[in-house]
A and B are shown apart, each in its own frame.
Chain A
């Protein structure tokens, strides 16, 4: 039993890292612009479909590299044309807009690529376990973990050591003052939105290596992202990361004892955190 538990804790960390990647993109957009991006799952699906379309031309690695950028470019356009108009208004406006956008993206992908799940193949050498004993450590999962770690590190470096990152962090605390200091907040919000969508696109490309590629792929992955943000603490990127990992481990461990509650455990965790520590594990008091 203890081995089984240990296996599931490790496995949960792998899945949690993936949830964290999605939640970080969502959190970036929420923190600076105050937009609850319901369409994040739609952008995730778009990332997967764009990769599927690109593979015949540029191969698996080319698609992995290009698809998140193409998705981010679409995200930038969406922010420029739609989201931007709602900044400064009641958050429910942007919530409703992205809610509708999520449907448009899902139906759009269904219209272009069809409702039928599409086969997405990853390189043969990634598609097998690295050891017989730790069979759940497949080449693809280890690669995915490595890439997520790299992206989180990259995000940390951007936010802490670049002018853009400094402005994003400052804007998260007080956008008005940042604007008064001469920073073009329109561009700042646009780039930040693009960065968030880049992460959704990357999560999409990584997800289709493990899951079936269908228009609803984002639906089932969006809830853990929201919960990761709430559990980790609104406004805290390290909190979001921790929230994602915790959810992954909790669902993995629950499956050992009570598989049919593996999904419900996320909600129980969220309720417990809200009751005991309403600002989330690493959220700042009074920040939201």
Chain B
């Protein structure tokens, strides 16, 4: 029998515990798979836990489908391909960098893919640049990745934040008015989105009534919403991501703010809409890819393939990012006829994605000079699932915007690429 004892906890122990609670939020499991020594290796360093876990999982599903297709069609340069997956966590750059180093140094991958979080993507880009590793950022949006901190070896599939704000700002200014209040997630992604909109406001003589930077992982937005409504804006612009966006939209509906003001933003994701109750599905946003594209070649097949892997769920933009990133590795290797990073990077510049990878109109291509993919952006409205329709049809595209029309010129991005001699 256990002898009962009085509590022997000390305050110091509680403080240690509180500190460890912080560590708990960044600790994460490792994922690895068996692989043959002569196979081509692609390392994916992306969030599988934390606030971006759902996004990371969808990028992984797209990547896995691409690997399966590539291996079924003979692999890369005649060699089978292995996908090595690491959990970068959702917000700890040191973990993402440590995993990137592990993939490059110990696993000796040929390609590095990641990250969803802009800050982590930038940190990984700096590592891959130092080590001369060919690197594709599938879903980290901050402008600097292919802008002021661009590197010859780093390419990006998703849009820059400036492309997102530019594509939707005309709609917002026309429909909503010119007095905006920003609620912005306090890291690289939110900051650069806000900078984009601020430039738009300035160019159109608009007014920024205020801006609240909220820490990533904020659960309660009520104080920010109280502050925003007190300025009586034309629109409250939400520049948030993942679960933060869900929490803020839910709370703004409960406060009835959606009936008083326009609420909208730049980037929105299907993963967010799927987590919202129907009454919170409103506003004008940008989707970076959407599964419902009647008449666009290969999209239906892609949707069907993904449904088979996900128990019937449709692909999201994240699924396509993962898919396109992996296929880009193969396309680059085949164009370069090599796995050497410099040759891969040279071959990838200006490369147009074939229709079966592009899965969207307007022939997306990797722009020479900043390595940024120029895809098509889907501007539209969040909507409740149509009666009798697909329950995951939660967005209606109203306008397609060409990436080149929304992007800054290479000179204006601030990208000055230095190639190794």
Partners in one complex: yes
CB < 8 Å neighbour of B275 from A11, A90, A119, A223: A119
Instruction: Please report whether the interface of chain B is mostly helix, strand, loop or mixed according to DSSP.
Output: helix
Number of A interface residues, CB 8 Å?
Answer: 86
B51-A136 in contact (CB<8A): no
Which chain A residues numbered 107 to 159 have a C-beta less than 8 Å away from chain B?
A: 107, 110, 114-121, 127-129, 132, 135-136, 138, 140-141
Within 8 Å CB of B255, what residues of A?
129, 135-136, 138
A34-B9 in contact (CB<8A): yes
Which chain A residues numbered 157 to 202 have a C-beta less than 8 Å away from chain B?
A: 172, 174-176, 178-179, 185-186
* Binary interface encoding of chain A residues 226-252 relative to chain B, with 1 for a CB under 8 A from any of its CBs, else 0: 110110001000000000000000011
Number of residue pairs spanning A and B whose beta carbons lie under 8 angstroms apart: 213
With A119-B276, A255-B212 as given contacts, are A103 and B24 in contact (CB-CB < 8 Å)? yes
Within 8 Å CB of B2, what residues of A?
84-85, 87-88, 186
* Binary interface encoding of chain B residues 229-265 relative to chain A, with 1 for a CB under 8 A from any of its CBs, else 0: 1100000000000010011001101111100000000
With A34-B7, A36-B9, A185-B4 as given contacts, are A214 and B275 in contact (CB-CB < 8 Å)? yes
Within 8 Å CB of A12, what residues of B?
223
A210-B254 in contact (CB<8A): yes
B24-A175 in contact (CB<8A): no
**CA–CA, A259 to B246, complex, Å?**
19
B53-A110 in contact (CB<8A): yes
With A102-B24, A129-B255, A255-B227 as given contacts, are A214 and B212 in contact (CB-CB < 8 Å)? no
Within 8 Å CB of B247, what residues of A?
210-212
Which chain A residues numbered 25 to 79 have a C-beta less than 8 Å away from chain B?
A: 30-34, 36, 38
Within 8 Å CB of B256, what residues of A?
128-129, 132, 135
When C-beta atoms are compared, the residue in chain A nearest to B11 turns out to be: A288
CB < 8 Å neighbour of A87 from B4, B56, B217, B243: B4
**CA–CA, A176 to B8, complex, Å?**
12
Within 8 Å CB of A175, what residues of B?
4-7
**CA–CA, A263 to B217, complex, Å?**
10
A257 CB to closest chain B CB, in angstroms?
10
Instruction: Please report whether the interface of chain A is mostly helix, strand, loop or mixed according to DSSP.
Output: helix
**CA–CA, A212 to B225, complex, Å?**
17
A136-B226 in contact (CB<8A): yes
Within 8 Å CB of A212, what residues of B?
243, 246-247, 250, 275-276
Q: How many of chain B's residues touch chain A, expressed as a range? A: 35 or more
B277-A121 in contact (CB<8A): yes
A219-B250 in contact (CB<8A): no
**CA–CA, A270 to B11, complex, Å?**
12
B218-A263 in contact (CB<8A): yes
Within 8 Å CB of B4, what residues of A?
87-88, 175-176, 178-179, 185
With A38-B21, A262-B215 as given contacts, are A92 and B13 in contact (CB-CB < 8 Å)? yes
* Binary interface encoding of chain A residues 1-14 relative to chain B, with 1 for a CB under 8 A from any of its CBs, else 0: 00110011001101
**CA–CA, A132 to B229, complex, Å?**
12
Best-buried of A106, A186, A262 by chain B (most CB within 10 Å): A262
* Binary interface encoding of chain B residues 1-24 relative to chain A, with 1 for a CB under 8 A from any of its CBs, else 0: 011111111110111111011101
CB < 8 Å neighbour of B254 from A132, A140, A227: A140
A129 CB to closest chain B CB, in angstroms?
5
**CA–CA, A33 to B8, complex, Å?**
9
A221 interfacial by beta-carbon distance below 8 Å: yes
B86 interfacial by beta-carbon distance below 8 Å: no
A49 CB to closest chain B CB, in angstroms?
13
CB < 8 Å neighbour of A223 from B6, B18, B276: B18
B356 interfacial by beta-carbon distance below 8 Å: no
B220 CB to closest chain A CB, in angstroms?
5
B1 CB to closest chain A CB, in angstroms?
8
CB < 8 Å neighbour of A36 from B17, B57, B186, B243: B17
B204 interfacial by beta-carbon distance below 8 Å: no
Best-buried of B21, B246, B279 by chain A (most CB within 10 Å): B21
Within 8 Å CB of B222, what residues of A?
11, 14-15, 136, 252
A213 interfacial by beta-carbon distance below 8 Å: yes
Best-buried of B219, B223, B226 by chain A (most CB within 10 Å): B223
B229-A216 in contact (CB<8A): no
With A251-B223, A259-B224, A288-B11 as given contacts, are A95 and B20 in contact (CB-CB < 8 Å)? yes
**CA–CA, A262 to B225, complex, Å?**
14
**CA–CA, A270 to B279, complex, Å?**
39
Residue contacts A-B, CB under 8 angstroms, 6 given: A36-B9, A38-B17, A38-B21, A176-B4, A214-B53, A255-B212
Measured CB to CB, the residues of A under 8 A from B are 3-4, 7-8, 11-12, 14-15, 30-34, 36, 38, 84-85, 87-88, 90-92, 95, 99, 102-103, 106-107, 110, 114-121, 127-129, 132, 135-136, 138, 140-141, 172, 174-176, 178-179, 185-186, 207, 210-217, 219-223, 226-227, 229-230, 234, 251-252, 255-256, 259-260, 262-263, 270, 274, 278-279, 288
A-B contact sample (19 more), CB < 8 A, given A12-B223, A211-B246: A7-B226, A8-B223, A8-B226, A30-B14, A36-B13, A99-B20, A107-B29, A117-B272, A136-B226, A210-B251, A211-B243, A212-B243, A212-B275, A215-B53, A219-B25, A226-B14, A230-B18, A255-B227, A260-B214
